[in-house]
Structure 1
């Protein structure tokens, strides 16, 4: 098998995996709704379903972008091919970006900032302990 054929097959496998992740993820998300029906509110179920489907689509899109990138190795670069590929990657990346914002509730570059804020909020509790004192529990230990 020639290198170009092998790379083309790898790209097709990545495409298939991307589509499979989206379909299987959506099916599992749908199946989990009736299983949670008695324990959660409808609003909570909808949020859970939407989040799981969104994450499946996000992962599937990442695999499809990877397939597009792999495909560039096997094809003869033409201006039209590069433009079409660039447009496809741009659209898929934009979709991934907007889905990530919707699922996380903030811009991707805010994740590190929010994690740092969470750590800084926890520091005062840990540093409030004086040397030789026993650690305090949630009720203050007194």
Structure 2
């Protein structure tokens, strides 16, 4: 068995793992959403489903990019296949970026403002003002 044949099988394994991650992740996301729906209601369940499945989509995209990378570099390292890989990575990067913004609610360069101490301070302010963080005392 040649090196290219082995790498083709490895790439197929990554593709199978990516597809499996998406299917199992969808089922897991639905289970999480049903549990949240029973405990907290529909709006929070929808949010839990979006956040959980968004993370699954990000993971699946990363695994599929790895499969494309292996196939392009190890199996068919031609200029045409590298150009196709570049386009695929560009599209998947845009999708990953869009999903991350959708999950977090802010672009990456604003993430620090929406996490950590600022979130704790915002929650504490909301608690002091009866649920409205923007309300002045």
Q: What range describes the TM-score normalised by the shorter chain of this pair?
A: 0.7 to 0.9
Of Structure 1 and Structure 2, the greater helix share is in 2
| TM-score, with length taken from structure 2 | 0.75
Contact 1:51 1:103 in 2 (8 A): yes
CA distance in 2, matches of 1:6, 1:52: 34
What aligned pairs does 1:37-116 form with structure 2 within 5 A after superposition? Answer: 37-112=37-112
Change (3 A) 1:56 1:116: closer
* Shift in Å, 1:60: 0.2
Contact 1:12 1:67 in 2 (8 A): yes
Which structure's CA Rg is the greater one? Answer: 1
* Shift in Å, 1:116: 7.0
Q: Equivalent residue for 1:130?
A: none
Q: Equivalent residue for 1:135?
A: none
Deviates more, 1:78-87 or 1:42-51: 78-87
Contact 2:36 2:48 in 1 (8 A): no
Which ranges in structure 1 are unaligned for 5 or more consecutive residues? 122-142
Which ranges in structure 2 are unaligned for 5 or more consecutive residues? 122-137
Change (3 A) 1:45 1:58: same
* Shift in Å, 1:107: 2.1
Larger RCO: 1 or 2 (CA < 8 Å, sep 6+): 1
* Shift in Å, 1:112: 4.9
Change (3 A) 1:109 1:3: farther
| TM-score, with length taken from structure 1 | 0.72
Q: Equivalent residue for 1:9?
A: 9
Map Cα deviations across residues 17-54 of structure 1 (whole Å, 9 max, x no partner): 11111111111111233333331121000000111111
Question: Which contiguous aligned blocks of 4+ residues in structure 1 show a shift greater than 6 angstroms?
Answer: none
